[in-house]
C-alpha cells in the first residue's frame, strides 16, 4: 500500500485511502483509469467525426486530424483508415 500511495497523484489518494488491501487499491485505480480512457476515446472520436475545415487552411486541418488520431492511438484506441478518409 505504501508503494501505491507514494506513486499516485494526490487527487487519486482519496479514492484508495479507505481500501483494505493493495489489490483493492489497484482494482480501484484500474477501474477509474479505464473509465476515463473510455470517456476520452468517445470524446476524441466525436471531435474527429465532427471536425470541419471551415476557415482553416489545409495544412492546419490535416494537423488537427493527425493530432486527434494520435490522441486516440496514445490511449490504445484503433483508428480506422475509413474514419480518417471520412473527415478528409
pLDDT tens digits, the chain, 88 residues: what are they?
888 778 777 777 788 888 889 899 888 888 877 777 888 888 988 998 888 888 889 999 989 988 888 888 888 888 888 777 777 6
**Spatial separation of the C-alpha atoms in residues 25 and 71, rounded to whole Å:** 27
The alpha carbon of 40 is separated from its chain's Cα centroid by a whole number of angstroms, namely: 4
Residues in the chain, overall count? 88
- What's the pTM? 0.59
Amino acid at each position: 500500500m505504501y508503494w501505491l500511495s507514494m506513486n499516485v497523484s494526490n487527487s487519486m489518494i482519496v479514492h484508495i485511502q479507505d481500501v483494505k488491501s493493495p489489490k483493492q487499491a489497484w482494482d480501484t485505480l484500474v477501474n477509474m483509469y479505464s473509465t476515463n480512457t473510455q470517456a476520452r476515446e468517445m470524446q476524441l472520436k466525436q471531435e474527429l467525426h465532427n471536425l470541419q475545415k471551415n476557415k482553416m487552411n489545409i495544412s492546419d486541418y490535416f494537423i488537427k486530424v493527425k493530432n486527434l488520431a494520435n490522441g486516440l492511438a496514445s490511449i490504445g484506441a484503433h483508428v480506422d483508415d475509413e474514419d480518417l478518409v471520412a473527415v478528409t
